[in-house]
Amino acid sequence: MSKIKQYLPWTIRIIIAVLFLVSAFAKLYPSAITALGTFEAKQLIPIGFSEGFAPYFSRFIIAAEFSIGIAILQPHFLKRFVIPVATLLLFIFCVQLTYDIISKGASAGNCGCFGELIPMTPMQALIKNIIAIAMLVYLYMLQPKDAGGQKFNYLLLIFTSIALVMFASAPVQFATEQVATSDDTMVHPDFAQPEEPFSITEPGDSITSENTNGTEGEVVDDREVEAVVETEPQGPAKVTSKFSKFPNFIPNGVRIDEGKKILCLFAPGCDHCRETAKTLTEMKAEIPNFPPVHIVFMDEEPEKIPDFFDFAGREYSYRVASVVDFWEILDFSRDTPGVVYLWNGNVRYFADGINEKAFDKETLKKELAKKK
């Protein structure tokens, strides 16, 4: 029994340290900038944080989690400060999770406690936090009144160092400046696309080239063409999709609810998004009359867009949406990469994330092969 009492405090401290360190690391997975943007849009902004303040608070809270994970293993102000702060932070998380459970349900998607690394429902996360609080309270009771060192500067050094690393390695991304084109759609000035060489056609029209040396009806460029092949079945009755309410983020001139479309929701720095785009390029080469592909990029690391297309194997028409608007398009409940197949506005296939709903090439092929 004495040995249990001897080792129990350190066992609890190690468990709590792992809990906080994994939680902090998971919020930066798989890409710090992208993961932080997701954390801010899905967790902070919905509870009232402004778009301007959320990026700073997200880095602060993750720095605090890293700091607690380290500080719980050192002696200075362990009982007087570290354990109470860790308990308070978990209590605040519990309040938020309780609100989510009441308003959205106990199993309402991923709570974000461990980011996308370890998805957890609000109820699972709440139980985890209550157990951790109980362990911290017991640890507090086990500590002698004057236990440990009394150098608060050590704690300040830990937090300050981690916070500086956070802001240096994942600088706050300000919204990329946008300029209006003649048709009032928005494009990023650094990545504005060249004019399409083909006009957008109606059913039965021939495809005509513009600003080229080709003759009418000849396809002299491999750029995306919005054309309806006459042999294509008419498909289901036209409906208005939810995506049509985001006209500023649908690529220039694209009528998203007419005919077949592939709408992708990607983050430029997301490896899974890149792999998905590459697979779509391969499918486009394999499948005749493959639907036009259009991309909405999250406004995180937009400078990686050219490299994204290099990896994908070709360029696609695209727009860039702010982090909040991007996640609104995905209903705040879905994840990247998102791939939507629409036919006359009807959503025939919607893949998202990297788990059970992840993009599947064969499933999309089966949907594309259907005649109605």
Q: Are 238 and 168 in contact (CB under 8 A)?
A: no
Strand, coil or helix: what is 25? Answer: helix
Mean pLDDT of the chain: 80
Q: Lowest-confidence range among 50-59, 181-190, 224-233?
A: 181-190
- Give just the sign of the alpha carbon dihedral 296, 167, 68, 72: positive
**pLDDT tens-digit profile of 303-356?**
999 999 999 999 999 999 888 888 888 887 788 899 999 999 999 999 998 878
- At residue 48, the pLDDT reads 79
**pLDDT tens-digit profile of 94-132?**
998 998 888 878 776 677 788 777 888 889 999 999 999
pLDDT at 203 over 50: no
Render the burial of 164-189: b for 16+ CB within 10 Å, e for the rest: eebeeebeeeeeeebeeeeeebebbe
pLDDT at 367 over 70: yes
Interatomic CA distance for residues 252 and 181, integer angstroms: 9
Report strand pairing: 317-321 vs 293-298.
parallel
Interatomic CA distance for residues 82 and 74, integer angstroms: 9
Q: Cis omega before residue 197 (within 30°)? A: no
Of all helices (H) and strands (E), which one includes residue 237?
A: none
Phi-psi category of residue 313: left, alpha or beta, with phi > 0 → left and psi -120 to 50 → alpha: left
Q: Which two tokens mark 96?
A: 């938020």
Q: Of 41-45, 103-107, 154-158, which one has max mean pLDDT?
A: 154-158
Q: Are 360 and 351 in contact (CB under 8 A)?
A: yes
Of all helices (H) and strands (E), which one includes residue 370?
A: none
Confidence band for 1, pLDDT divided at 50, 70 and 90:
low
- At residue 180, the pLDDT reads 32
- At residue 3, the pLDDT reads 66
Interatomic CA distance for residues 201 and 187, integer angstroms: 23
- At residue 153, the pLDDT reads 92
- At residue 2, the pLDDT reads 63
- At residue 146, the pLDDT reads 63
- At residue 236, the pLDDT reads 85
Q: Which two tokens mark 70?
A: 């380290």
pLDDT at 231 over 60: no
Confidence band for 178, pLDDT divided at 50, 70 and 90:
very low
| Residues of the chain above pLDDT 90, percent | 45
- At residue 253, the pLDDT reads 67
Interatomic CA distance for residues 72 and 75, integer angstroms: 8
Strand, coil or helix: what is 52? Answer: coil
Give me the mean pLDDT over the 296-301 stretch. 87
| Residues of the chain above pLDDT 70, percent | 80
Virtual CA dihedral for 139, 141, 146, 150, nearest 10 degrees? 40
- At residue 220, the pLDDT reads 29
